[in-house]
Structure 1
Amino acid sequence: MSLHGTYDPDNIFAKIVCGEIPSVKVFEDDEVLAFMDAFPQSRGHLLVISKTSKARNVLEAEPKTLGRLIGAVQKAARAVTKALDPAGVVVTQFNGAPAGQSVFHLHFHVIPRYENEDLGRHGEGMADIEELKALAAKISAAL
Structure 2
Amino acid sequence: MNKAIYTGNIVRDINLTYVQGSGAAVLKNTVAVRRKIKNKTSGQYDSDFIPFVAFGVQAEFIANNFEKGQGIQLETYMKSGSYTKGGIKHYTLEAVVDSVEFMGAKPNTYNQDCQGSNNFPDMNQDYEDNITPVDYGNSPF
> What's the TM-score, normalizing by structure 1?
0.20
More strand by share: 2
Higher-Rg member (1/2): 2
> What's the TM-score, normalizing by structure 2?
0.20
More helix by share: 1
Q: Using CA pairs under 8 Å that are at least 6 residues apart, name the structure with larger relative contact order, 1 or 2.
A: 1
